[in-house]
Amino acid sequence: MTAQTKAQPQAPTTHQGILAWVTEVAELTQPDRIHWCTGDDAEWKELTDALVATGTFTRLNPEIKPNSFHAASDPIDVARVEDRTYICSVDEKDAGPTNNWMDPDEMKDLMRGLYAGCMKGRTMYVIPFVMGHLEAEKPMFGVEITDSAYVTVSMRVMARMGTHVLRRMEELDAAGQDVAWVPALHSVGMPLEEGQADVAWPCNDTKYIVHFPEERAIWSFGSGYGGNALLGKKCYALRIASVMARDEGWLAEHMLILKLTSPEGVVKYIAAAFPSACGKTNLAMLEPTIPGWKVETLGDDIAWMRVGEDGRLWAVNPEYGFFGVAPGTNYHTNPNAMRTIEKGNSVFTNVALTEDGDVWWEGLENPPARATSWKGEPWTPESDELSSHANSRYCTPIKQCDILADEYDDPRGVPIDAILFGGRRKTTVPLVFEARDWTHGTFLGATLSSETTAAAIGAVGVVRRDPMAMLPFIGYNAGDYFDHWITVGKDNDAAKLPKIFYVNWFRRDEDGGFLWPGFGENSRVLKWVVERIDGQAAAVETPIGHVPTPESLDTEGLDMTEEELRAALAVDPEEWRAELPQIQEWFEKFGEQLPAVLWTELDGLRARLDA
């Protein structure tokens, strides 16, 4: 018997690497018990019952939302913590100017201090998981260790996990294949002393979300919130995967994937990168308002894309569930999300709880006369405070989505025809425009700007550069990341790569209202995009790119005056000239690391604006 199996006689695995790591973590964190997750229904029942018993979960009315639960977090633990998120590369330069950095050894010393005994009085859950398909050519394995049953239950919704994943890892291990897996350690950071009662949402004032890119390892401490704690999602599938993608020549992106079918039956696949809480989930599940068009969903948050042998860019969604923004979601804006969560098997965090055992949030139809707010206080529609946190979320299985495209289950993914970049901008940026080519599209992505949202702790509504909607998720130097994008364009046949577009659903009129109705009406923009790809739709060439002529957009049945439409599409050279110094300053951050062609693109934009 090896030392590892002696320490854990019950461990249900022969995988020596996993055993050794679990033993090491258990010795450091001192949990009362170790639970190896199976991912089966009995385990779900055991854990959700336990979460109800400790008050973390309230079971929802099974007649309204079967097998579903409400949770309210500690009010300090409601979103991603960007200022506590680190890329601990060996060399500081590799983290780049957009990431927090600390020397990896120093960080490990510091965090070992925090982790020492941090699971006392708790169960340590071991979650074998795979991001993407288990049948992928190279399955992207991970093992998350966490002391949170809430995280374990949420991981079962969001990722393929459990015994079948462990068995596959063992098989490959036994066959002598060196199959990589990402160790992902998470603790809420609240040990329980003998006799100490637990709280509904354990967490710690001190938080660290840390990535070791060379080692492909993740250490997270102090938060139970999705993006900080479900480590397969942002930490692995974006930050660590973006490093793998750089090294191996592919792309890990903060993008939705959708399938669009025209009335003639022509299929196109579109990927779109919008910053957090800027409309990916809603676009991914859109119900077109134009007759005969159909949207099916492949993913709402993350796309892994590689150039195939045919020269096209193929995308898969590595996730297994949706972790969607609740406020604003309703039967008009996103009926497909509503139908997905109605089927149950979902967790709702930081929304309001109604008296009949349902959930409610701002923007949902039929406000209840009385409810309990996310803070646990009595709430009525007359209350001054919001019933739900602006970043409250539903966590629901992707397989329950009625419009999930069949190709979701294909490990090869789908060939992308168009990439949209977009953000939240009150001014300046028109509804849609097309990049001149891949390099110009990379420039648009690299200079993407958006107002901050409640998805991260900090000020909301502040315009910042959020390159490719990846600012908080690039696991290395963003200058190198831009270069990687440029290289994908250079090394491949441009004619086969997706065309790049830029959209803005959030432009405002003088009264502060949205100029564009958005949601299902965004299908009109998707139609224009595919007609541009097929060389059918008209556009005017402007200094920033190709903008639709008002006539080229399908406006049949659209409730908008021509003047409003012109305002939504307008390109004001003065507003764009004001962007130039901001872009200049943004680019200067990257010094030598910024690809020279992006400076050339900026010069080109300036020259066209001055012409």
Ligand X SMILES: O=C([O-])CC(=O)C(=O)O
State the residues that interact with ligand X by CB under 6 A: 80, 226-227, 233-234, 276, 301, 323, 455
Size of the site for Mn ion (CB under 5 A): 2
Q: 281 or 372, CB closer to ligand GTP?
A: 281
Q: How far is the CB of 608 from ligand GTP (least distance, A)?
A: 29
To the nearest whole angstrom, how small is the minimum distance from the Cβ of residue 77 to ligand GTP? 16
80 belongs to an annotated ligand binding site: yes
Which of 236, 290, 285, 294 is closest to 256 using CA atoms?
Answer: 285
Q: Is 350 annotated as a binding residue?
A: no
Q: How far is the CB of 393 from ligand X (least distance, A)?
A: 7
- E strand spans, 495-585: 499-503, 539-542, 545-548
Name 16's Cβ contacts closer than 8 Å, sequence gap at least 6. Answer: 2, 4, 173
Residues 259-278 that bind ligand GTP (CB under 6 A): 274, 276-278
Of the candidate residues 139, 327, 422, 467, the single one contacting ligand GTP (CB under 6 A) = 327
Tell me: is residue 522 an annotated ligand-binding position: yes
279 binds, among ligand GTP, ligand X, Mn ion, none (CB under 5 to 8 A by kind): ligand GTP
Of 380, 514, 551, 575, the one binding ligand GTP by CB under 6 A: 514
Q: Which is nearer to ligand GTP, 328 or 550 (CB)?
A: 328
Any contact of residue 300 with Mn ion (CB under 5 A)?
no
- 440 with 446: CB under 8 angstroms? no
Interface positions, 295-314, toward ligand GTP (CB under 6 A): 300-301
> CB under 8 Å to 46, separation ≥6 — which residues?
none
- At its nearest, how many Å lie between Mn ion and the CB of residue 358? 26
Q: CA–CA separation, 286 vs 492, rounded Å? A: 31
Q: How many CB atoms lie within 10 A of CB 532?
A: 20
Q: Count other Cβ atoms within 10 Å, centred on residue 490.
A: 12
User: How many CB atoms are located within 10 Å of the residue 226 CB?
Assistant: 24
Position among 170, 296, 301, 417 found at the interface with Mn ion (CB under 5 A): 301
The one catalytic residue in 37, 118, 203, 278 is 278
138 assigned ligand-binding residue: no
Query: In angstroms, rounded to a whole number, what is the distance separating the alpha carbons of residues 120 and 162?
Result: 24
For ligand GTP, the closer CB: 281 or 439: 281
- Residue 226 partner contact from ligand GTP, ligand X, Mn ion, none using kind-dependent CB cut-offs of 5 to 8 Å: ligand X
C-alpha–C-alpha distance, residues 450 and 234, integer Å: 19
Q: What is the DSSP letter of 83?
A: G
Residue 424 is labelled as binding a ligand: yes
Q: Give the nearer residue to Mn ion in terms of CB position, either 144 or 301.
A: 301
Nearer to ligand GTP, 122 or 425 (CB): 425
- Residue type at position 491: D
* Residue 278 bears catalytic tag: yes
Is 373 marked as a binding-site residue?
A: no
Assigned token pair, 594: 């910024």
Q: CB-wise, 333 or 387, nearer to ligand GTP?
A: 333
Is 399 annotated to bind a ligand? Reply is no
Please state the φ and ψ torsions of residue 393, each to the nearest 5 degrees: -140, 150
Q: Which stretch binds Mn ion (CB under 5 A): 92-100, 272-280, 346-354, 472-480?
A: 272-280
Could you tell me if 573 and 599 are in contact, meaning their C-beta atoms sit under 8 angstroms apart?
no
CA 74, 238, 466, 505 dihedral sign is: negative
- Closer residue to Mn ion in complex, CB, 149/284: 284
- DSSP class of residue 64 equals T
Handedness of CA 296, 408, 421, 327 (dihedral sign): positive
Q: Which does 66 bind (CB under 5 to 8 A by kind): ligand X, Mn ion, ligand GTP, none?
A: none
Q: Which stretch binds Mn ion (CB under 5 A): 24-32, 136-144, 297-305, 368-376?
A: 297-305
Q: Which C-beta is closer to ligand X: that of 234 or that of 524?
A: 234
Only one residue has tokens 């996993």, namely: 18
- Residue 505 interacting entry, from ligand X, ligand GTP, Mn ion, none, C-beta within 5 to 8 Å by type: ligand GTP
CB 70 within 8 A of CB 353: yes
Q: Determine contact, residues 324/281, Cβ cutoff 8 Å.
A: yes
Which residue in 279, 413, 441, 595 binds ligand GTP (CB under 6 A)?
279
Q: How far apart are the first and last CA of the chain?
A: 77
Handedness of CA 47, 52, 58, 64 (dihedral sign): positive
| 519 labeled part of a ligand binding site | yes
Task: Give the separation between CA 74 and CA 57, rounded to whole angstroms.
Answer: 13
Residues 6 or more apart whose Cβ sits within 8 Å of residue 313: 251, 305, 306, 307, 415, 416, 488, 496, 497, 498
CB 225 → ligand X: shortest distance, Å?
Answer: 6
Nearest residue to Mn ion, by Cβ distance, number only: 301
Binding positions: 80, 225-227, 234, 254, 276-282, 301, 391-393, 424, 519-522
Binding positions for Mn(2+): 234, 254, 301
Catalytically annotated residues: 278
Binding site for ligand GTP (CB under 6 A): 274, 276-282, 300-301, 324-325, 327-328, 333, 455, 505-506, 514, 518-519, 522
Binding site for Mn ion (CB under 5 A): 276, 301
